[in-house]
Amino acid sequence: MDLASIFTTHWQRFAATCRHLLTAAHYRAARAVMACRTPALGGQVQHCSACADQRRYVYHSCNHRACPKCGGREQKEWAQAQEAKLLPRVPYFMLTFTVPEELRRFAYQHQAWFYDAMFKAASATLMDFAHDDKHLGGTPGFTAVLHTWTRQMQHHPHLHVIIPGIALSTAGLRVRRSKAKRYLFPIAALAAAFRHRLDKAIRHRDRTEHTRHHTQIDPQVWQKKWIVDARAVGRGRSALRYLARYVHKSAVSEPRLKGYDAHGNLRRNCQDSDTGKWRIHHLTPDEFLRRWSLHVLPKGLVRVRHYGLHSAAAKKKWERLHHILGTRPTPKPAPLETPKLKCPCCGKDMELLRIIPPPPREWLYLPARAPPAASSP
């Protein structure tokens, strides 16, 4: 079962009844999902020169980050590029910054700037701890990835951060290594600092933008204990591959969609967080689309960010770090090649016969109209 069939059947009704929940980003994402790999986006006609009757139509992908069909190759390329940055013989740590449940509704209502504030608060907190002589005493390099869903597709915004237990001294003359084995930094102090910085960021926005966001939040949120998870992840390779799943992935995995039950509810295979066992969850189509909508990010929001020695502006410092370690930076891997189609008759590579241009884009804004069929060559 694919996501596009669910949208084709249920999106119009859901959008009409839940218009107050949707933004322009949701409509763009829905149109992309329904048009992906259909004649609506154009494509190619491939043929086999040896077998004259063998032709295949290959339609273009939408490349929208909310579409589960897209992003597979980009995910692999991202993972390879990040693995090339891993430092030899250096321990790595994974940290997860979360916000309390009472703050999640507010986060969703103001996600265009709140998610950015989460990135800034977490990165500034890590920089402060890393520069402290009690910990690393220098400039670290780390990568943060925004993740917004749980296994049940509920809204749960949090940041995954992967960071090596090493830093370059302020003068750039020596390497500072962490002595920590399990936690890179004290997690209670890290969570308190993250809470303080996010509180400060919202107050600053109220002053500069003349808003009243801070008054909309329960004051108890800033008094309760926040949670930051931290753990050692060895040399970092497995943690990077874990993060890669969320870089070019939506909240929906199509292989987990198991069709409809007798009552017309969607059946979705889901792993229980407590027991680790897989079981079928039943969701009405409207509830499924509502949960999917929770994870459509605002246009232009960058969900993967690099800081410190991992940033593009720190190339010379990164080279300096390798020089001190006596290693060389690994060259960036070449982009993956698109595999060629094989003729089902003779097994030879198929060749491009012609390009199918996309039809006028006006149809994308008419939800009741089906995509046009491909014209014959």
Q: Are 7 and 34 in contact (CB under 8 A)?
A: yes
Residue appearing with tokens 């999106």: 11
pLDDT of residue 25: 93
Q: Count CB-CB contacts under 10 A for residue 202.
A: 21
Structure tokens at 33: 């999902």
Domain boundaries, the chain: 3-64+341-365, 85-251+294-325
327: three-class secondary structure by DSSP: coil
Other CB atoms within a 10 A radius of the CB of residue 145 amount to 19
Buried b (16+ CB within 10 A) or exposed e, 52-86: eebebeebbbbebbbbbbbbeebbebbbbebbebb
pLDDT of 361 reads 61
Report the chain (377 residues): mean pLDDT per 10 consecutive residues.
Answer: 94 94 93 92 90 85 91 87 90 95 95 96 97 92 95 94 94 88 91 97 96 95 95 91 82 92 94 85 95 94 95 93 90 82 86 87 45 39
Neighbours of 312 (CB within 10 A): 7
| Angle, in degrees to the nearest 10, between helices 187-209 and 111-131 | 130
Residue 49 is predicted with a pLDDT of 83
- C-alpha dihedral, 16 to 18 to 23 to 29, nearest 10°: -70
Distance separating alpha carbons of residues 243 and 346, to the nearest angstrom? 40
Sign of the CA dihedral running 73, 74, 75, 78:
positive
Coil, strand or helix at 159? strand
How many whole angstroms separate alpha carbon 352 and alpha carbon 341? 10
Place of tokens 């720190």: 314
- What is the pLDDT at residue 375? 38
Q: How far is Cα 239 from Cα 143, in angstroms, rounded to an integer?
A: 11
Q: Are strands 92-98 and 257-260 parallel, antiparallel or unpaired?
A: unpaired
pLDDT on residue 249: 77
Question: Which DSSP letter does residue 314 get?
Answer: G
